[in-house]
Structure 1
Amino acid sequence: MINFNGTIVSQDANIMTQNRAFLYGDGVFETVKILNNKILFLEDHYFRLMSSMRVVRMEIPMNFTIEYLEEQILSLVRTNSLSESFRARITVYRNDGGYYLPQNNTVSFIIHAVALETTIYAIDKKNYEVDLYKDFYIAKQLLSSIKTTNKIINITGSIFANENGLDNCLLLNDSKNVVEALQGNIFMLLGNKLITPPVSEGCLNGVMRRQILSLAKKIENLEVVEEVISPFDLQKADELFITNVIKGIQPITQYRKKGFATNISVQLLGKLNEMISST
């Protein structure tokens, strides 16, 4: 089942040959985690979605409030009462009509949800190996910081990772600096300094990135900064980890021949779960 413009319908009810999200990537989306009938970091997701719609000049409906979005997501989740944790995606796309130039800027939305096995965030202690993906680069521009339905770099990078036995890849921008991972933002610990690239470098303005930056600043003797990360810096790092709202924190244990510890990532995950349980 999906939620299509506020109505719960069957999965195949929205196959439309004129869907602009399918034809041109003319859509934006948010992926959220629901725990015990509560959408985590709802306000951050909502305002990023509104900002994304404005950036691509979509018309925001008058009823598209944070309360409306919450109710539309939870109404879909309630159709499956057997799970306490869900992953939901809301995709907003410009309505049919036109070619590159749309006939209007009105929108429709689809929400799809799947149950998750895990509830609180946890770290998988298995080996997690990454490398650089250098076939294509991310542009240092505003569009790179929002979640659009054009994710072809992430798709081809995921295929590359799979073909090479990697768990993930790190993406570079057009200045050849490390920007993010295929499925999340990247953090690097160097001594007592925790570094993540600034959004101006072309990385996604991640919701979990924001939470981790806030939590890390509360750790004593840890300097938290947004700075450029070059590929050469990775070899000097003490820790590397990836963040997103579904996984939380994913430590990187190996980059090429370099291995990494997981102390800070484990500490931050504990603080993340404490924050969630207290709200």
Structure 2
Amino acid sequence: MINLNGELLFKENVNLSIDNRGFKYGDAIFETIKVVNKKVVFWEDHYFRLMASMRMLRMKIPMEFTLEFLEKEILKTIAVIDDAPSYRVRLNVYRKDGGLYTPKTNKVDYSIEASENTYVSKNEYKVDVFKDFYNYSGLLSTVKTNNRMLNTLASIYANENDLDSCVLLNERKGVVEVTNGNIFVVKGNVVKTPALSEGCIKGIVRGKIIEILTKNKDFTIEETTISPFEIQKADEVFITNAIVGVQAITKYKKKTFTTSLATKLQANLNVLQIAGN
């Protein structure tokens, strides 16, 4: 079932116009959200990121778009599909039809789609650098717009080369993120992750991991510029996103990594997930 502006429809009955701005111009943003045991995980963080993104893109935020309203719509959508312990939800917001590059209105429509979350953390996870195109640094790159062409091409490259994901670089050849999440690089007791100014998505789980590591006296967390060469020299590398949580990278080029910190952080994240923080 699809929730289209509050109306629950079978997928085959959903009709989007050829003038849909998300389709025509990528004039849309989305949140990928995990729901566990009918509880929307880290919902406040997702909600406030969505609101900030809508303001940045000059979308008119409807009066009814409260924290409680959107959470209720997510749970309403899940309630009519097969019962499962965990769900993957996509909340999409896009400007209403009409206009060329200049929209006729800044008012929005929304859709919510949900499916059972079947992702299982992998024991082996291989990545390499995608060099064909760059993820340009800048504030707009931190927003989850529907324009994911770079991620699509990098994912095709990964599939063709027996990889699980690819590292994306910016125009300065600095590490930005991976195709499906943020990246963290561990060397000794220093954990680095690309700063938002490098062009990475302002990931929800990225923020949670930074919070956890900031409180851990055994490690120093740095949001900074990272060279691809630092990945090869690292002791451990892992990625984060809302569905996976923490996924350890086990191999980059010919380098094999340990996974101990990623395992501990996933356990810490599970505690926060249950607590609702």
Same fold (TM over 0.5): yes
1:23-62 → structure 2 map (5 Å cutoff): 23-62=24-63
Separation in structure 2 between the aligned mates of residue 189 and residue 148 of structure 1, nearest angstrom: 29
| Alpha-carbon distance change, 11 to 123 in structure 1, aligned in 2, over 3 angstroms | closer
Q: Which residue number in structure 2 is paired with residue 86 of structure 1?
A: 87
- Residue 213 of structure 2 aligns with an amino acid whose one-letter code is A
1:176-255 → structure 2 map (5 Å cutoff): 176-255=173-252
User: Which secondary structure state, in structure 1, belongs to the residue aligned with residue 72 of structure 2?
Assistant: helix
| Residues matched between the structures, number | 275
2:142 matched to 1:141? no
Which consecutive aligned stretches of 4+ in structure 1 deviate over 6 angstroms post-superposition? none
Separation in structure 1 between the aligned mates of residue 82 and residue 164 of structure 2, nearest angstrom: 32
2:5 matched to 1:5? yes
Q: CA deviation at 1:220?
A: 3.1
- Residue 134 of structure 1 aligns with an amino acid whose one-letter code is K
Q: 2:128 aligns with which of 127, 131, 134?
A: 131
Separation in structure 2 between the aligned mates of residue 275 and residue 71 of structure 1, nearest angstrom: 21
Q: Which residue number in structure 1 is paired with residue 152 of structure 2?
A: 155
- Residue 265 of structure 2 aligns with an amino acid whose one-letter code is L
Q: Which residue number in structure 1 is paired with residue 99 of structure 2?
A: 98
User: Which secondary structure state, in structure 2, belongs to the residue aligned with residue 77 of structure 1?
Assistant: helix
Q: 1:174 aligns with which of 161, 166, 171?
A: 171
User: Which secondary structure state, in structure 1, belongs to the residue aligned with residue 144 of structure 2?
Assistant: coil
Q: CA deviation at 1:81?
A: 4.7
Percent of residue pairs bearing the same amino acid type: 47
- Residue 30 of structure 1 aligns with an amino acid whose one-letter code is E
Q: Which residue number in structure 1 is paired with residue 161 of structure 2?
A: 164
After superposition, what is the alpha-carbon deviation per residue over 1:9-68, rounded to whole angstroms, capped at 9, x for unaligned? Answer: 121323321111001100000010001111000010001111111111111001110101
Q: Which residue number in structure 2 is paired with residue 261 of structure 1?
A: 258
Separation in structure 1 between the aligned mates of residue 41 and residue 75 of structure 2, nearest angstrom: 12
- Residue 169 of structure 1 aligns with an amino acid whose one-letter code is C
> Given the two structures, how large is their TM-score scaled by the length of structure 1?
0.96
Separation in structure 2 between the aligned mates of residue 14 and residue 108 of structure 1, nearest angstrom: 13
- Residue 194 of structure 1 aligns with an amino acid whose one-letter code is V
Gaps of 5+ in 1: none
User: Which secondary structure state, in structure 1, belongs to the residue aligned with residue 267 of structure 2?
Assistant: helix
After superposition, what is the alpha-carbon deviation per residue over 1:179-221, rounded to whole angstroms, capped at 9, x for unaligned? Answer: 1000000000011101101101100000010011111223332
Deviates more, 1:145-154 or 1:50-59: 50-59
Q: CA deviation at 1:108?
A: 0.1
Separation in structure 2 between the aligned mates of residue 257 and residue 142 of structure 1, nearest angstrom: 34
Contact 1:123/1:266 (<8 A) preserved: no
Gaps of 5+ in 2: none
> Given the two structures, how large is their TM-score scaled by the length of structure 2?
0.97
- Residue 89 of structure 2 aligns with an amino acid whose one-letter code is A
- Residue 126 of structure 2 aligns with an amino acid whose one-letter code is E
Separation in structure 2 between the aligned mates of residue 189 and residue 103 of structure 1, nearest angstrom: 48
C-alpha RMSD of matched pairs (Å): 1.1
